[in-house]
Chain A
Amino acid sequence: MMEADPLAVEILFHIGPVPIARQVVTTWVIMAVMVIFLRVFLRNPARDAGPVQAALEIVVMAIVSQLREVLNRDPWRYVPLLGSLFLFLAIANLSAILPGVQSPTGHIETPAALALIVFFSVHFYGFSVRGVGPYLRHYVQPTPFLLPLNLLSEITRIFSLMIRLFGNMMSHEFIIAILLLLAGLLLPIPFLLLGVLIGLIQAYIFTILASVYIAAAVGAAEV
């Protein structure tokens, strides 16, 4: 159901003084489903993979291959963050097609949380790979006059990352809701299919942009 204020957080319950929003619960459910799925189908991964393990290997290796191309280095160090980012976003975005489920990414808090994590991760990897001095020095290159612009771009690109994901997913949910109100049950089905495509594309774009930012931060020093 569409909310009256699309940007408002729907609080489902409180744990003490802490309000628990619907998207948090949805995220927990997604996490639980992921854990259960992986515990069931990937409890004892074998060299002779079964169908589910083979499919998971294909997905993981596709992510690794894509990250290797973007990062131009051994990607396994960055796979936990960026791979989790892609898989979580893909599952979260696609969860919107389930009846009664609102995608966590359709509210600003989840994209903001992910953007914040990407923001700090970029600097973490920059510091850890290049060192504090060399990493900070890249803000004044090619000339110190660009320092404000570089700092501004650090903020704006993370902000754009967040807004892009939030805008796309929220607008898609709005379109579906409006179509449901105006045209009934069957007409939104093509838009739901389009939503699958949009969800995957947004997950891919968010992950690739995060990879590009991390690649720019770590530079070409690491082999």
Chain B
Amino acid sequence: MHIDWWTLAFQVINFLVVVWLLSRLLFRPIRSVIEEREEADRKAAEAAQAKEDAAKAIQQEYEGRIAAIADKQRQEEAELHKQMSAEREALLKKAHDEAEALLARSRAEIAAERSQTVEDLRAEIGGLASELAQKALGAPDILGPGAALAQARAHLTGLKGTDLRDLQADLAVEGAEITVVSATELPEAEQSGWQAALCDRFGNGITLGFATDPALIGGAELRFPHAVLRFSVAARLAQAVTDLKG
């Protein structure tokens, strides 16, 4: 194999020149461009990172503010709740005290009114009792001996018209009688008085009977078959109660 050393030397030199040329014209410029691009990318990434950090800082600050506001709001709510509870407790206590006072006052007033009412009732009852007593017992027209007979005689004498005819029709029935009822048994003389008075008014054909009823207290009643003429204390009291009721 023959080697041309001149050519070999030329090719060595040529390739070294090629290395120098490509290094200067290709590799170095492209490397600088790539490094410049990487530097720009790095700077852009750093800028982006800085912006991201700033955004994170802003976000953290915002979240911190939000948290602080939330804490403050919670504290204010708790304080308000506490204040409202205290006010409610105070209002409740005040209302309770007022209610207690009102209740006590009402109780006192009720007690006073009750006492007054009792006093008034007592006075009124006393008055009523006095009035009833006056009406029942203070009427000598029916309590005295023969008083009831005299009052009955006067009443019978005054009967006229329809009332008298009704009584006469009542006595006209077969077997009809007039019963004189008194609280205690009447003496003979008083019974004769009753018979005379009744015969005077209704004729001698009447049938007359006598009976006692302690409930009458005093006085007497004339019991027809379908009517009663009352001249007793019990009737007078009943009338008085009716009058009082108004």
Q: Which of A83-120 contact B (CB under 8 A)?
A: 83-85, 87-88, 104, 107-110, 112-114, 116-117
Q: Is the CB of B10 within 8 A of A47?
A: no
- Is B19 at the interface (CB under 8 A from chain A)? yes
**A16-24, A184-192, A202-210 - interface stretch:** A16-24
- Is A31 at the interface (CB under 8 A from chain B)? yes
Please report the total number of A residues contacting B with Cβ < 8 Å: 45
Q: Is the CB of B7 within 8 A of A23?
A: yes
- Is A28 at the interface (CB under 8 A from chain B)? yes
- Is B196 at the interface (CB under 8 A from chain A)? no
A46 contact set on B, CB distance < 8 A: 33
A23 contact set on B, CB distance < 8 A: 7, 11
Q: Is the CB of B29 within 8 A of A34?
A: no
**B34-42, B58-66, B93-101 - interface stretch:** B34-42
Q: Is the CB of A84 within 8 A of B15?
A: yes
B20 contact set on A, CB distance < 8 A: 80
- Is A149 at the interface (CB under 8 A from chain B)? no
Report the bound CA distance from A54 to B15 in whole Å. Answer: 25
Q: Is the CB of B3 within 8 A of A81?
A: no
Report the bound CA distance from A88 to B29 in whole Å. Answer: 18
Q: Is the CB of B40 within 8 A of A47?
A: yes
A57 contact set on B, CB distance < 8 A: 30, 33-34
- Is B18 at the interface (CB under 8 A from chain A)? yes
A56 contact set on B, CB distance < 8 A: 26, 30
Tell me the total A-B contact number using a CB cutoff of 8 A: 117
Report the bound CA distance from A114 to B19 in whole Å. Answer: 11
- Is A38 at the interface (CB under 8 A from chain B)? yes
Q: Is the CB of A84 within 8 A of B19?
A: yes
Q: Is the CB of A84 within 8 A of B22?
A: yes
Q: Is the CB of A31 within 8 A of B10?
A: no
> What per-residue 1/0 map shows which CB atoms of A1-38 lie under 8 Å from chain B?
00000011100000000111101100110010011001
A80 and B23 contact, Cβ closer than 8 Å, known pairs A21-B4, A110-B11: yes
- Is A60 at the interface (CB under 8 A from chain B)? yes
Q: Is the CB of B33 within 8 A of A84?
A: no
- Is B31 at the interface (CB under 8 A from chain A)? yes
A8 and B2 contact, Cβ closer than 8 Å, known pairs A109-B8, A109-B11, A117-B16: yes
Identify the closest chain B residue to A113 (Cβ): B11
A113 and B6 contact, Cβ closer than 8 Å, known pairs A35-B25, A76-B31, A80-B22: no
Report the bound CA distance from A104 to B12 in whole Å. Answer: 12
Closest approach, in angstroms, between the C-beta of A39 and any C-beta of chain B?
7
- Is A201 at the interface (CB under 8 A from chain B)? no
- Is A146 at the interface (CB under 8 A from chain B)? no
- Is A45 at the interface (CB under 8 A from chain B)? yes
> What per-residue 1/0 map shows which CB atoms of A124-159 lie under 8 Å from chain B?
000000000000000000000000000000000000
Q: Which of B4, B15, B25, B40 contacts A117 (CB 8 A)?
A: B15
Q: Is the CB of B11 within 8 A of A42?
A: no
Report the bound CA distance from A9 to B3 in whole Å. Answer: 8
- Is B210 at the interface (CB under 8 A from chain A)? no
Q: Which of A58-86 contact B (CB under 8 A)?
A: 60-61, 76, 79-81, 83-85
Q: Is the CB of A84 within 8 A of B14?
A: no
A112 contact set on B, CB distance < 8 A: 3, 8, 11
Measured CB to CB, the residues of B under 8 A from A are 1-4, 6-12, 14-23, 25-27, 29-34, 36-37, 40
Known: A7-B1, A46-B33, A107-B7. 18 other contacts (CB 8 A): A9-B7, A19-B7, A20-B10, A24-B7, A24-B11, A27-B10, A31-B21, A42-B26, A49-B33, A56-B26, A61-B34, A76-B31, A80-B20, A84-B23, A88-B22, A112-B8, A113-B8, A116-B12
Question: Please, could you name 10 A-B residue pairs with CB atoms under 8 Å apart, sorted by A?
Answer: A7-B1, A7-B2, A19-B4, A27-B14, A38-B26, A39-B25, A42-B25, A57-B30, A60-B30, A84-B22
Closest 3 CB pairs of A and B: A113-B11, A80-B23, A38-B25
